[in-house]
Structures are given as structure tokens and as C-alpha cells.
Amino acid sequence: MKVSSYTAASTIPAKLFCDKSLIDDILENKYIRPTHIQINPTNKCPLNCSFCSCKNRDRSLELSLVDILDMTNKFRQLGTKAVTITGGGDPLAYPHLKAYVNCLYDNNIKVGLVTNGILFDRLKDLSFIEKFTWCRISLSGEYDFSDIKFEDVIKKYKTDWSFSFVVNKNFSLCKLIRAIQIANENNFTHVRLVEDIIGENNNTMESIKDELRYAHIDDSKVIYQGRKQYTKKGHKRCLISLLKPNIGPDGNIYACCGVQFSKDPPALDLDANDSMGSNIEDVWKSQKYYDGSKCKKCYYSDYNNLLNIMLDANKLNHKEFI
Ligand code: SF4
Ligand code: SF4
């Protein structure tokens, strides 16, 4: 399993090397296109997790269907190839989810979904799941998912399924083992263990790994992602803001999906004052990247370092002497 297939934060962005036209655009035209959009269509969510990265959000905020389609059309014209529908809240609570997924699919835009899966039970038609490239269900020890029928959904609809499992003060080994068993039985791509970024937690990845092995659990699909590494200052030229922006339910463009942690103390919300505004054409036409020098915590320095090197590569002398 190639871990960098499934996670972006605190990793060298290997996928940047997979798109030759993107590289050419950056090196030769000094242009970074919004290749991958992360969109938070609604702030509604049936849960209230203690570790929620958007705890302080206005739960009533939601994009209208007209706005989300209009924005996506603009991004498509700028070269967007993939959209991750995420939160904020839970995308399954978004009333226009099916129409939106169909629109992305019909326009040859790859689509992924992050959800807690609670509302699978309540939606009548879930056939749109087959249009996802992947679907990741977020679990934790904080709620009992044994009653949720998502196993029926997983078995019925084909996509690249995965779990993420937050390790926090309410960690439950039994629940994690059940999640790994479901993943192993249903050919999941991976189970990503993530440490709670904001709260206390006494469980280390090493101790969990030991316990799983002691219990003879096949953990070959598990990605042990300890507390993510971050830098204590963001990049002034935050170029990831042009490559994979994060769209809030207020219609504003945010520089990254970790911007709610970037202040001290963290805002735990997408604050419009820290957005890049909502004028999509203007941001990309003028390449108005976000000034990340005000960020106190950044999980995407590897992306920004590499993008900055690429953008300035033609200024180097003696290029042949590699
Ligand atoms: S499921 Fe996600 S969006 Fe909902 S409260 Fe939990 S962490 Fe927040
Ligand atoms: S500099 Fe700030 S906005 Fe840019 S990636 Fe880092 S945390 Fe996000």
C-alpha cells in the first residue's frame, strides 16, 4: 500500500509529479491551476464530536444548488480535475448532494466523499455512491456505530471505501478492531488512524499497533498517522491555495483544509476574514495566492516548499549540473 495515495498532510506531494501538463504550466507559464477542490457544502451534521475541527461553525450555513454548480463550473473551466466533498459538517446532510455528484460525474470531474456515514440509513437513493472514486467514512470511539447500517451500503455500492478513525481521549480498541474487520472483509483500500490534533490523548500509535498485534488483528490496511508534523509558521507564498483550495459553505475560497487550525488559539471554523474572497476568476487569473505568513501552524509546508521551488526553478543558473 502506497501511503501517499491516501493522505496529503505532512507528506511529500508525490502526486504533483503525476500530471505533466500541471508541471509544465507551473514551470513554463508560472500558472497554478485549481487542480483539486475541497468543498464543504453544508455545516449541518448529526454528530457533535469533541475533536471537531469546525466546532465553532455556524451550523445553519449551506451552499445553494445554484451557487455550488456555478462555482464548480468556473473551477471546471480553470482546469479542475477532482473534487472532494467534505466538511465542515457532514455532506450526507446536504440536500443537493445527489444532484451535485451527478453534475461532477457528467463533467468528467473525479469525486471523493468524506462522511461519518450516520445518514446512510435515512437516504432513500444512494446509487450516486457508485460515481465516487472513493468514499471515506470517519469513525471514532465517541459514538456507537454498531447500529448503523453502513455495512449494507458498503456491500451494495462499489467504490474505493476506506475508514478514518480518530484516536482521542475516548479511544476504543474494540471499536477500532471492528472497523478493521469490516475493512478487511470488504476489501477497503485502507484504515487511517489519525490522532486528535486539538485534544489530549494518551494512546500512541505504537501502543495501538502493539495491542492490535497482540489481538492477532491483520493490520496490513492500517495507516498509523501519528500527530501530524507541522511548521510553526506558514509560507508567505502559500501556493497550495492555488493548487487545492478549500471552499466553505459561505462560498468563500480558503487556502487549505487546515486553515481552521492555523491561528493560536485555533479558530475551529472557517473565518471569512482569513479567506481569499469569492471571486474565482480573479484569484486564478491574477494568481492571487494566500499570504500564509500569518499562520502559526501549517501542515502543508512540503507542498508549499516544492511549489515555490518549482515556480522559481527557471531562475537557476548552471541548470545542467544536476
Ligand atoms: S462528524 Fe465531523 S463534522 Fe460532524 S461533529 Fe464530528 S468531526 Fe465535526
Ligand atoms: S500557510 Fe496557512 S493557509 Fe497556507 S497551507 Fe499553511 S496553514 Fe494553510
Whether the CB of 256 sits within 6 Å of ligand 2: yes
CA trace torsion 167, 170, 173, 176 (10° rounding): -60
Please check the confidence at residue 187 and state whether its pLDDT lies above 90: yes
Please check the confidence at residue 9 and state whether its pLDDT lies above 90: no
CA of 38 to the centre of ligand 2 (A): 14
What is residue 301's three-state secondary structure? helix
pLDDT, tens only, 249-275: 999 999 999 888 888 888 899 999 999
pTM equals 0.94
Nearest-angstrom CA–CA distance, 314 and 146: 56
CA of 17 to the centre of ligand 2 (A): 21
CA trace torsion 173, 179, 185, 190 (10° rounding): -110
Query: What pLDDT score was predicted for residue 314?
Result: 87
pLDDT, tens only, 66-115: 999 999 999 999 999 999 999 989 999 999 999 999 999 999 999 999 99
* Mean pLDDT of the region 239-246: 97
Q: Of all helices (H) and strands (E), which one includes residue 263? A: none
CB 311 within 8 A of CB 26: yes
Name the residue of 36, 228, 256 to mutate for ligand 2: max ligand atoms within 8 A of Cβ.
Answer: 256
Return the closest-CA partner of residue 225 out of 162, 267, 270.
Answer: 162
Beta strands in 102-181 (DSSP E): 110-115, 134-140, 160-167
Q: Of all helices (H) and strands (E), which one includes residue 222? A: strand 222-225
CA of 287 to the centre of ligand 1 (A): 32
**Eight-class DSSP state of 143:** S
Greater model confidence, 14 or 92: 92
